[in-house]
Amino acid sequence: MDLVFTPEHEALRAATRDLLARHGPEEAVRAAMEADSGYDQELWRRMAEVGLQGLAVPEEFGGAGGGIVELAVVMEEMGRALYCGPFLSSAVLAATALATVDDPVARKYLPDICGGTLLATVADTGLLAGDGQSPAVVADGDRTACLDGRVGYVPDGHIADLFVVTALDKGRPGLYLVDARSAGVAATLLPTMDLTRKMAAVEFSGVEAQRLGTQEDAGSVLTGVRHLAAIALAAEQVGGAQRMMELAVAYAKTRIQFGRTIGSFQAVKHRCAEMAVDVEAARSAARSG
């Protein structure tokens, strides 16, 4: 899928960049990185005011009705600003899963996700960096089930209000909805190399869950969410790489050594050119994902 950007997308990019520059400067990013919650609630509120959390949610559920291209634009800007917060987990992955699965139970949560008042995430061992086997369905009712198991790396799992869980029923994956306040749910914040994205291990011990859709639908929904996660993360990394290149080039233009700016030295020019090639290669790969 090739991502093609229009003037409207560039306007979205400019608005997102301006919002993050004004309300998510470097000092705010560092504070969010050090906080257990991992995000600035005031910035999250401002993002909701301009509709970012509902960007990819259909209009009938309170969203903007955008798609993967709009999400890629915003994720690239978030990578550029090193945004810390549950946008990927809640507004991208969980919102997409809930909007895609054919179940009215799932869709009733979308307006609150769009408004930024409900934080949701996807607990799926195959999503980002899962370890071990998916939780298992140990008891099954008409619309409810009982889940047991652990998901090793759940983005923002320690602050989520709602989990979309992949669980195995007789060896086949299904999607289930779990309230984070339910008895038997335990989330533990994990140490990570990337301090801008919090991860948690989540244990489900005899937890009551609501089945979402059918097992036949679960596979296609999961495939779509995992694919979207890869594209969103690729776009985010391109944004970060672009910004690092810009900072390096700006430094090379101002740093004086031996009476000359270091950017005038051939060796430095070559390194800057190599950075530009690498960033463009990454951008091409992300936009053709």
Q: What pLDDT does residue 139 have?
A: 76
Task: Tell me if 245 sits within 8 A of 280, measured CB to CB.
Answer: no
| Residues whose CB is less than 8 angstroms from the CB of residue 16 and which lie 6 or more positions away in sequence, other chains included | 52, 73, 74, 77, 78
- Give me the architecture of the 120-221 domain, per CATH: Beta Barrel (2.40)
Residue 30 CB neighbours (<10 A) = 13
Confidence of residue 126 (pLDDT cuts 50, 70, 90): confident
The two structure tokens encoding residue 47: 């993002």
Confidence of residue 1 (pLDDT cuts 50, 70, 90): low
Confidence of residue 3 (pLDDT cuts 50, 70, 90): low
Give helix 68-81 / helix 7-23 axis angle, nearest 10°.
30
Query: What CA–CA distance (Å, rounded) separates 227 from 251?
Result: 37
Q: What does DSSP say about strands 162-169 and 144-155: parallel, antiparallel, or unpaired?
A: unpaired
Residue 71 has pLDDT above 90, yes or no: yes
Q: What pLDDT does residue 286 have?
A: 86
Q: What pLDDT does residue 2 have?
A: 60
- Give me the architecture of the 7-114 domain, per CATH: Orthogonal Bundle (1.10)
Confidence of residue 130 (pLDDT cuts 50, 70, 90): low
Report the percent of the chain where pLDDT is more than 90. Answer: 79
- Asked which of 38-47, 133-142, 229-238, 241-250 is least confident by mean pLDDT, the reply is 133-142
Domain ranges of the chain: 7-114, 120-221, 239-287
Report the residue count for the chain: 289
Reported as a single tens digit per residue, the pLDDT across 245-282 is 999 999 999 999 999 999 899 999 999 999 999 999 99
Confidence of residue 131 (pLDDT cuts 50, 70, 90): low
Task: Tell me if 71 sits within 8 A of 87, measured CB to CB.
Answer: no
- Asked which of 42-51, 121-130, 222-231, 272-281 is least confident by mean pLDDT, the reply is 121-130
Residue 204 has pLDDT above 90, yes or no: yes
What pTM, to 2 d.p., does this model score? Answer: 0.91
Query: What CA–CA distance (Å, rounded) separates 180 from 157?
Result: 9
Mean pLDDT of all residues in the chain? 92
